Structures are given as structure tokens and as C-alpha cells.
Amino acid sequence: MSENPTACLLVIGNEVLSGRTQDANLNYVAKRLGELGIALREARVIPDVPAVIIGTVNEIRARFDHVFTTGGIGPTHDDITSECISAAFGVPWEIHQEAFAKMNAAYKTGDFNAARQRMATMPRGATLIETTASIAPGFSIGNVHVLAGVPRIMQAQFEAVAATLQGGLPIIMRAVHGKGVLEGAIAAGLSAIQDRYKTLDIGSYPYYRPAGGGVAIVAKGTDAPAAEAAIREVAALMQELGGSPVPGEPPA
């Protein structure tokens, strides 16, 4: 996977750190980036604090091919992502003429007030991310893609960006699970399989269900035949240990 582009997700919002809101964007972005062949290498949740946003954006945009941010681009005082991105890039935060014209046309006369005009205020040089999911667009600047926090809008904006990105080989996952199989019993054999399939990430995940638990083994990588071969070896290993391997992830 080392040749695939890399990405980092930055979730901006006090509400996730306070526990008020359960983030739903990471899982969506993670799955979709995998399908696009872009490796999500890190995700961070940070508060609505300018110095933290600016510092974090500058650190991670240098380290990853793509940065996606979610949250903080609405009209209220706690929506400060856009001006912080301007500060991070050292460019003026100013009315984006195209965004302003489109939003002005979309709102009823008198409704495009100062608060909403802030949503048309962006770092100089920003490219709009337009969707039918919201009147206010997201935007990209450099390798940073600035998306809404509301999942429905975020997903539409993510897909609009995704259509413009050069991905790599899709990152696929193959799995097998064994009811009653214990991690501690399978560990040594599993480690030997991982050693033979160095291009894969093989993960071991115990699961617990009312009807009984077990372990799920997942092989992840860009080489589907290798992942399938590795999972066949894991299944054989489970069988050797007296387990009954079943292809795929355990049912929820």
C-alpha cells in the first residue's frame, strides 16, 4: 500500500470532544478512501480553538497527501474553520465572489445576512466544493478539503472532492471468523502467516455475541489474491485448532 496516496481526517468540533455528538464521519471517510485507494493514515478530533486548528492543519498538510476537515463551516460564532484555514495558509480571508453570487441568488431577499455571508468568506485561492445538499459550499485549498460536519452534507461534499482525486489501487479486505476460537490460541500461527504475507496488514479482532464469541481475522491490502490466500491459511489454522472457520466477518 506504500505507493497509494495518504490522507488524514481532521474532525473539528467541541461537540465530539464533550461527548455531546458521536462522530459519524470518520467511518464513512475511512471506507470510501479505502475504496478509492487512498490510505487514511490518521484521524484527529480537535476543539474549536484557533491556535489548535491552525497548528494542526499546518502540521498535517505537510505530512499527508490529502487532508479532509469536517465541521465548523456554518454561520455561527463557533464556526471558525474557514478563517483558521486562511491563517494556516497565510492568505487573506475574503469574500469568494462565486460563492457569494450563488448563495445570494439562493436565499430569499433579505435572508442572506451577515452571518450567512461569512459562509461565502474563504481563504483567497479556494476552489468551491458544490453540491445540492446545501446552499453553502465547502472548499479546497492546496491539499486541504474543507467539508461540513453534518453527515449528509459532508458525504455529498466528500463525493464531489473524491471525483477529482487521483486514487491508487483499491484497498480491499478479506475476512474469516471462527466461533469459539481464542486469540491467544491462534496468535503464534497467525503471526507466522503475517510474516509470509508482508504486503498485507493482518488484523485479529475478538468479538462477543450473546450466542457466543470468537475471533475475526481480516487481511487488508491492495493484492486481493494474496489476501484471499492468507485468509485460506488462517481458516486452515482455525480448523487445525478445532475451530469451525466461516468466511467473512461475523454477523452483527
Q: Which positions touch its own copies (CB under 8 A)?
A: 13-23, 26-32, 34, 40-48, 52, 74-79, 111, 113-116, 118-119, 150, 152, 171, 173, 183-188, 190-191, 194, 201-206, 208, 218, 220, 249
* C-beta neighbour count of 217 within 10 angstroms: 28
Give min distance, CB of 209 to its own copies, in A: 12
C-beta closer to its own copies: residue 42 or 94: 42
- C-alpha–C-alpha distance, residues 233 and 230, integer Å: 5
Give the torsion sign (CA, 38, 224, 218, 247). positive
Q: Which of 86, 89, 115, 112 is nearest to 101 (CA)?
A: 112
C-beta closer to its own copies: residue 27 or 244: 27
- Cβ atoms of residues 138 and 127 within 8 Å: no
Give min distance, CB of 217 to its own copies, in A: 9
C-beta closer to its own copies: residue 41 or 179: 41
Give min distance, CB of 192 to its own copies, in A: 9
C-beta closer to its own copies: residue 66 or 118: 118
* C-beta neighbour count of 92 within 10 angstroms: 11
C-beta closer to its own copies: residue 185 or 229: 185
Angle (CA) 104 138 147, round 5°: 145
C-beta closer to its own copies: residue 95 or 187: 187
Give min distance, CB of 187 to its own copies, in A: 3
Give min distance, CB of 85 to its own copies, in A: 18
- C-alpha–C-alpha distance, residues 68 and 7, integer Å: 8
Give min distance, CB of 43 to its own copies, in A: 4
27 CB burial (10 A radius; 0-12, 13-18, 19+):
exposed
